[in-house]
Structure 1
Amino acid sequence: MKNKLTLFFFTLSLLTSVTVSAQIGELERSTPEAEGVPSGAVMALMDSLIGLPQTDIHSVMVLRHGKVIAEIYPEPFAPEYRHTVFSCSKTFVGAAVGLAISENRLRLTDRVASFFPDQLPDSISANLAGMTVRNLLNMTSGIAPDWNMRNVRTDWIRGYLEKTVKAPGEHFDYDSMSSYILSAIVQKVTGMKVLDYLRMKIFESMHITDISWEVSPEGINTGGWGVYVQSESLAKFAQLLLNRGVWNGKQLLPAWWVDQMMAKQSDTGSFGYGYGYHMWLCEYPGAVRIDGALGQYALIVPDKDMVIVITECTLIDGATQRRLVWNRLLPAVTGDQPLTLGKDYKRLQKKQSAYCLPVVQGKANSSLAREYAGKNIVLGPNKFGWQSLTFQFKQKEVIMTVMETSGAQYDLLFGYKQWKKTSIDAYPPYSVDAKGRFNGIEGPFYVAGSYAWPSSSTLELKAHYVNWITALNLTFRFEGEQVQLTVKENYSSEAKIIEGRVL
């Protein structure tokens, strides 16, 4: 009995700590109409985003005048889940650089090479010697991006500085390693990682504590990617920039620096509408965005006093999502006067809680289920590290036990015509292959699953890693002792085939 009570109170304390740290519902909520926005326009945006092909929407938040007027987290996603936001991380680096400059720790004209005397090549070119902090901020370093370097080396600073450098300041080349070098510079001049510096200077005042950032093999926040944060916290950060650095009446980030971040600092040619200091200018006049791979956005629209946050995993051009904001939502926002609530608002309320990502279609059972239940299916080599799988088939539920080559073992649950969730201690699949990936990111990770039998010999599973970004479509084809597994990752257009056999 004592052990049961101990387990109960431990579980209760764990749940309480999760609830406390989940920073949701802190921004003021309002209705669209109270802030001068028609609910019908918000619905048109939400419906259009949900209906996009090759796209899983994870969250959408719409803010006006600093208040949340609409938000959706299509099932199985939820507001408390954090999300990796890829290159949105760059804008956080840009803010940290501005803080360091405002404290006279750093200057835009400082030479990059001067910060790393022990990691320079034997021969330093004039172009390398001339590269400045500003060149890193506006992506004109003169170094051609090498996206594979971080995957094969652990000494990223030395690897970057060894590259051939063309004349800095002349050509825009978008490169996550430029942001990494800035992260390293901030750490040099402040004595702390960028995340810790931002916590002290900005995040504590904004109550953004449920945030992590990947750490490189060199012990530096990865800079160009790796921030892991809730949608509402990302919305807070975007609102801070819209407010020109002011939060609750306090100037946390210098207004002049925010202005420079959001102003055009580089001509990107046909690749966009210009680049600021680690921010993108948008096709909508005056709008800027925090931007991450696979469709992570915080759109800042000063003339409408609005912020729109989108997290998703998409394989289509992100300009499509942005055009929906520009064309479906913003034209309907014509003033600040409150509008009359009507039927559209009631419809929006119902829709916000009803959005759901599609579950797998097919039958609940197959005559083959009993034959393969409990059998150990050994898999061939694969990128997921899955050594073998075992299935249990229950009433409208499938349990897949995964044994990894590392020795880790866990269950994934799949519901029929519904999402079933579980937590795992293993890491999810990830589109970034950098050395030391996930370092600095804590678990557990939550997985929501849906299943069906499209045919008697085919079992299809869908697994959403709901506090990450990844989803897997798993299709098993059973034929005697042979089992063929086809895996489709939501961040890739390719399907991978893994051969398996029953032991």
Structure 2
Amino acid sequence: MKNRLAFFPLFLGLLLSLSVHAQVNELQRSTPEAEGVPSKAIIALFDSLTALPKTDIHSVMVLRHGKVIGEIYPAPFAPEYRHTMYSCSKTFVGAAVGLAVADNRLRLTDRVGAFFPELLPDSVSVNLADMTVRDLLTMTSGITTDWNMRNLTPDWIRTYLAKPVKVPGKKFEYDSICSYVLSAIVQKVTGMTLLDYLKLKLFTPMNITEVAWEVSPEGYNTGGWGLHIQSESLAKFGLLLLNHGVWEGKQLLPASWVEQMMSKQMEAGDEDYGYQMWLCDYPGAVRADGALGQYILIIPEKDMVVVITECTLINGRTQRGLVWNRLLPEVGDEVLAAGKDYKKLQKKQSAYTLPFVQGKAASSAAMKYEGRSIVLDANKYGWKSLSLHFGQKEVKLAVTDKNGAAYELPFGYKQWLKTAVSAYPPYSITPIGSFKGIEGPFWVAGSYAWQSPAVLQLKAHYVNWISALGVTLRFEGDQVELTVTENFSSDRITIPGKIQ
């Protein structure tokens, strides 16, 4: 596998040919007031979300009556960038299963083992023999969740089916491998990958073309995670479910299946679970929900959809609570007059930005380090050596990795400088074969500042993924200490280095 942080330079022609596609602004836009929502409520939501601690908001979209009435993409993020969705992917799996059922290719009572006879253990228990498609949909397979399994073996289904099985259909145990097995079953019965089947049935009719999905070592879309998609496409999918499977007058997904997906199928602690989606504590609301804060909130009572993509280390109840308490109480049925609050919203929507690194633009000691090779101890990122190059309110970080590849990232002062990289970004999970099926380049935006003459801080956001790295370099004589933080982890990683 490629080094996750190998930043190979790309020539201008390649950058242009591989540039991000802008499949955006297809949904109708309207003013909040025209749809019965005061702009001040949208502002309150956006301001509250962007002020949350330990949180990078990447996008928020608010829709009512099928129209977008507010949206933000705090810089350096932008509407055209795809995002990895973690378990938000599961709800798309649930839709694909419903389509296969409607096509008479699948039944909820079908036994899981029957789809994989060559992968069954030598001795099949009664409980394994009884496990059904519905049990996978409701996370009641009877198999105790093992999050590490996908990191240790490429034989996910064989290993999964060999595990002890309790009575299926009884106890909720959230497990991404349930969704992965459903993806494999859909591929078995349709003859096409889950993604291709969704393209045929939903994505192409809805003009969702900027989409990809990770592929497992066994050749199936990963199902329970790995969807890579734009925020507006998430909004489209939310509207499809809100409108009972109808898109532009066509019934793409059976209404009866949508009702089952969005209805209680299993108790799941303090919340309930439908088919591959959660029921919310707000009355009638349901959601697709992914790690680190990826949401499609569907609120039938208000005829609304809210999409949030982010990277957060705080409990998602906080974000959802802001929607329930700051936005929804202000939603009414009468058309309102758009006034100064709407003008304020228009200005604010384009002005949100993630924090720049704070400090000074220059250091009196910078030229001591200009172009010098900083040799690093062995580290998880594969960085062998670094060098720094200083310009007018710009720092370029050149990296040589352990395989000898050289690359460069720019960082701006009180601005985000972007570049494309041909290797993979940091990822909070490590399944075997990660990123297979996801094509680059990945775009990185950088900001820098000097904390003191001998301390340089860098911030890099991977804007069409989810990750961000903070890198602090502390110089003392010929010694350099790197401290690296990841926005998906509370850990701090220290890497010693020496100037040569």
The two structures have a TM-score, normalised by structure 2, of 0.96
Gaps of 5+ in 1: 1-6
Structure 1's 384 and 182: CA in aligned 2 closer, same or farther, altered over 3 A? same
- In the other structure, the counterpart of 1:260 is 260
User: How many Å apart are 1:384 and its aligned residue?
Assistant: 1.6
Matched, 1:480 2:455: no
Aligned to 1:311: 309
Question: Residue 456 of structure 1 aligns to which amino acid in structure 2?
Answer: P
Q: Where do residues 42-57 of structure 1 align in structure 2 (5 Å cutoff)?
A: 42-57=42-57
- After TM superposition, list the pairs within 5 Å mapping 1:28-427 onto structure 2: 28-270=28-270, 273-335=271-333, 337-427=334-424
* Alpha-carbon distance between aligned partners in 2 of 1:406 and 1:331, rounded to the nearest angstrom: 56
Aligned position for 2:24:
24
Q: What residue in structure 2 maps to residue 4 of structure 1?
A: none
Give the root-mean-square deviation of aligned CA atoms: 1.3
Tell me if 1:448 matches 2:451: no
Opposite residue 100 of structure 1, the aligned amino acid is A
Distance in 2, Cα, partners of 1:121 & 1:435: 22
Q: How far apart, in 2, do the equivalents of 1:192 and 1:379 lie?
A: 46
* Distance in structure 2 (CA, Å) of the matches to 1:307 and 1:363: 42
Distance 1:136 1:195 in 2: 19
Quick one: which amino acid aligns to residue 422 of structure 1?
T
Describe the superposition over 1:324-361 as per-residue Cα deviations: whole angstroms up to 9, x where unpaired.
Answer: 000000000121x2111111101100100111111011
Q: Percent identity?
A: 68
1: CA distance, partners of 2:404 / 2:234: 36
DSSP 3-state at the match of 1:267: strand
Cα separation, 1, equivalents of 2:191 and 2:404: 38
Instruction: Tell me how far apart the structure 2 counterparts of residues 409 and 222 of structure 1 sit (CA, whole Å).
Output: 32
Q: Is the 8 A contact 1:119 1:157 kept in 2?
A: yes
Query: What amino acid sits opposite 1:416 in the alignment?
Result: Y
Q: How has the CA–CA distance of structure 1 residues 78 and 105 changed in structure 2, closer, same or farther, with 3 Å as cutoff?
A: same
Contact 1:411 1:424 in 2 (8 A): no
Q: 2: distance between equivalents of 1:139 and 1:359?
A: 42
C-alpha change, 1:277 and 1:491, in structure 2 (3 Å) is same
Which of residues 488, 491, 494 is equivalent to 2:488?
A: 491
Q: Partners in 2 of 1:287 and 1:406 — Cα distance? A: 50
Query: 1:288 & 1:407 partners in 2: Cα distance?
Result: 49
Task: Compute the TM-score of the two structures, normalised by the length of structure 1.
Answer: 0.96
In structure 2, how many angstroms separate the alpha carbons of the residues matched to 1:287 and 1:128? 34
Return the offset for 1:366: 1.2
Q: What SS class does the counterpart of residue 205 from structure 2 fall into?
A: helix
Letter matched to residue 349 of structure 1: Q
| Match status 1:14 vs 2:17 | yes
Shift of 1:22: 2.1
The answer to which of 475-484 and 178-187 deviates more is 475-484
1:390 shift after superposition = 1.2
Structure 1 runs (4+) greater than 4 angstroms displaced: 10-13
User: In the TM superposition, what is the alpha-carbon distance from 1:11 to its structure 2 partner?
Assistant: 6.7
Deviation at 1:408, TM superposition (A): 3.4
Q: Which 5+ residue runs of structure 2 have no aligned equivalent?
A: 1-10
Q: How many residues align?
A: 490
- The C-alpha deviation readout for 1:388-447, integer Å capped at 9, x for no partner, is 211101111000012222443321111111111111111111101000000000111111
Give the conservation status (yes or no) of the 8 Å contact 2:15–2:420: no
Q: Using the alignment, how far apart are the partners of 1:109 and 1:404 within structure 2? A: 52
Deviations 1:19-75 (A, max 9, x none): 7x4210000110000111110100000000000000000000000011100000001
Task: For 2:22, give the aligned amino acid.
Answer: A
Structure number with higher relative contact order (C-alpha < 8 Å, ≥ 6 residues apart):
2
In structure 1, C-alpha distance between the alignment counterparts of 2:406 and 2:162, rounded to whole Å: 42
SS in 1 for 2:273: coil
Q: Which residue of 1 aligns with 2:498?
A: 501
Q: Aligned-pair distance for 1:477? A: 0.6
How far did 1:12 drift?
Answer: 9.8
Q: CA deviation at 1:499?
A: 1.1
Does the 8 A contact of 1:408 with 1:426 survive in 2?
no
Structure 1 residue matching 2:268: 3-state secondary structure? coil
Counterpart code for 1:343: K
1:296–1:311 CA contact under 8 A, matched in 2: yes
